[in-house]
Amino acid sequence: MIEPTRMSAVELINQMSAGHLSAEEVTRAYIDRIDRLDRSVKSFLLFDPESALTVARSIDQKRRNGEHLGPLAGVPIALKDNLCTPGLPTTCGSRMLQNFRPPYEATVIRKLREADAVFIGKTNMDEFAMGSSTENSAYGATCNPWDLERIPGGSSGGSAASVAADFAPLSIGSDTGGSIRQPAALCGIVGLKPTYGRVSRYGLIAFASSLDQIGPFAHDLADTSLLLQVISGHDPHDATSVDSPVPDYLATLEKPPERLRIGLVREFFSEGLDPEIEAAVREAVRLYVGAGATVKDVSLPHSKYGTAAYYIVAPAECSSNLARYDGTIFGHRAADWSPRTPEEAEIPPLIRMMMASRAEGFGAEVKRRIMLGTFALSAGYADQYYNQALKVRRLIRNDFDAAFADVDVLIGPTTPTAAFKLGEKAADPLAMYLSDIYTITTNLAGIPGLSIPCGLTKSGLPIGLQLMAPAFAEENLLRTARVFERQTDWHTRRPSLA
Ligand code: GLN
């Protein structure tokens, strides 16, 4: 039998239900691997082997008793640290929430717990999910398992790295502008941002509420389908979650799509796209043509405004969402807020306390976003910036609607380059923002986007293929991606981490 840490979630489930492996053995195998190797990857902020083993043993017990078991029984899963886990630290990668232990449970966490998944730990992330490299974490950066000198992507870098390194077969991330798909691409795994409203955001610490969406990471599409299935569905606690039936994604995955009409997004082959990435994507197109697909060029003319619109809308919402962290009820409170200048002495002490707490609690990128967003929403500027960005957002959505009149799935690269070096873009926010140039428009339009492994660069770094579909067409999106996965072995490649 192969090592449990090399099995997919589906394989683990089969082995456990056949009695060949216990949940405890599986969990131990992952714990050992994390113990040996996470020192160099640093994907976890919280790693709790004892609780994981306790849950695993209780699942084994339930199995022995013949009790009902959930669809993920005994499968270890890593969780991004912006999901509220009651009683457990939930830091959001920020000093601001260093001591936050949520009094309630995120809906996704509840669903995973009820599915009998085993929580193996909470993963590192860019502070409040703002970033593309996981370097904005207040707790240090995570490294890419394929090359420890490179970034894993972000903001869900810890979740992506943990699956790429086989520290868990599954993990959960969140995607506001690319934070699942971009790190999935850079770490050589599958990452899916579902349709806005497909998965409840209740208990996800908000960054930009109209864009945020929780989604799965896995090595392959079967595991992705299974995890999506478990976390999807309507939730009365989230008014934006949609009450539409959740298909059995795993059951239909092997059915070839009824139609294979693919659109190649012209604007995603712009300057700045690494030729090796372009070549891998063109190769994927050839494969689809060979599989009988019709492929045509499609234009999304407003995508060039995507990054500009996103960097108004997302900071605007963030400035509002993060206003609550002021040291009174929520967030870090400074120990000292005594005035240091005569001007400060004029400020009421309560305000000084908030100022000192926010100054200490937030990192540079979060402060930059709060200031941008506050400015964009200020009287006199809102029409010029925020309202203008909303109009662009509508036009981007219209572009997608027009494209989907003729094709079922759009494809292109997930990222313009493979993983860059740690520190390479850390001092250049604009260069960092361009990492999400191909993923951001999907969030603005609310539609699902998927990244799957489609190659390796000459220097051995993973390349991601992005597929996008109309709202709530995840089933067809996964089936279309499966056509590629079935004929390639990129998803079976692993970094050597000895
Ligand atoms: N990198 C983008 C940003 O910094 C997207 C982040 C995300 O999807 N959470 O905002």
Q: How far is the CA of 310 from the centre of ligand 1 (A)?
A: 9
Q: What is the pLDDT of residue 207?
A: 98
Catalytic pick from 80, 122, 193, 425? 80
Indicate whether this model's pTM tops 0.95: yes
The answer, yes or no, to whether any atom of ligand 1 lies below 6 A from the CB of 124, is no
CA distances from 303 to 438, 449, 467 (A): 8, 15, 16
Atom of ligand 1 nearest to the CA of 435: 1
As beta bridge partners, residue 119 has: 77
Binding site membership of 178 for ligand 1 (Cβ less than 6 Å): yes
**Residue 156: active-site member:** no
For ligand 1, whether the C-beta of 191 sits within 6 Å is: no
Pocket test for ligand 1, best of 132, 133, 213, 451 (most atoms within 8 A of CB): 132
For a pocket test of ligand 1, which of 81, 92, 123, 130 has the largest count of ligand atoms closer than 8 A to its C-beta? 130
Determine the distance separating the centroid of ligand 1 and the alpha carbon of 446, expressed in angstroms: 15
Q: How far apart are CA 104 and CA 127, in angstroms?
A: 21
Q: State how far the Cα of 224 lies from the Cα of 233, in Å rounded to an integer.
A: 16
The answer to whether residues 29 and 49 touch, using CB atoms and an 8 Å cutoff, is: no
As a CATH number, domain 4-259 is 3.90.1300.10
Residue 155: is the preceding peptide bond cis (ω within 30°)? yes
Per-residue pLDDT 10s for the chain (498 aa) are 789 999 999 999 999 999 999 999 999 999 999 999 999 999 999 999 999 999 999 999 999 999 999 999 999 999 999 999 999 999 999 999 999 999 999 999 999 999 999 999 999 999 999 999 999 999 999 999 999 999 999 999 999 999 999 999 999 999 999 999 999 999 999 999 999 999 999 999 999 999 999 999 999 999 999 999 999 999 999 999 999 999 999 999 999 999 999 999 999 998 889 999 999 999 999 999 999 999 999 999 999 999 999 999 999 999 999 999 999 999 999 999 999 999 999 999 999 999 999 999 999 999 999 999 999 999 888 899 999 999 999 999 999 999 999 999 999 999 999 999 999 999 899 889 988 999 999 999 999 999 999 999 999 999 999 999 999 999 999 999 999 999 999 999 999 997
Helix (H, G, I), strand (E, B) or coil at 52: helix
The continuous run of DSSP H or E covering 454 comes out as: strand 449-456
CA distance 315 to 308: 11
Q: What is 76-126 written as a DSSP string?
A: EEEEETTB--TTS---TT-GGGTT---SS--HHHHHHHHTT-EEEEEE--S
Strands (E), 284-422: 294-298, 409-413
Assign 253 to helix, strand or coil.
coil
CA dist., res. 384 & res. 321, Å (int) = 22
Residue tagged active-site, from 43, 156, 179, 241: 179
Asked if residue 250 has its Cβ within 6 Å of ligand 1, the reply is: no
Neighbouring CB atoms inside 10 A of 233's CB total 17
pLDDT of 55: 98
209 is annotated as an active-site residue: no
| Chain centre distance of CA 82 | 11
Q: Across the strands, what pairs with 170?
A: 77, 218
Helix ranges (DSSP H) in 172-220: 181-187
Q: Which atom of ligand 1 is nearest to the CA of 208?
A: 9
Provide DSSP, 296-312: EEE--GGGGGHHHHHHH
Q: How far apart are the first and last CA of the chain?
A: 21
Based on the residue annotation, tell me whether 320 is a catalytic residue of this protein.
no
Please state the atom number of ligand 1 nearest to the C-alpha of residue 443: 8
What residue ranges do the domains of the chain occupy? 4-259, 329-361
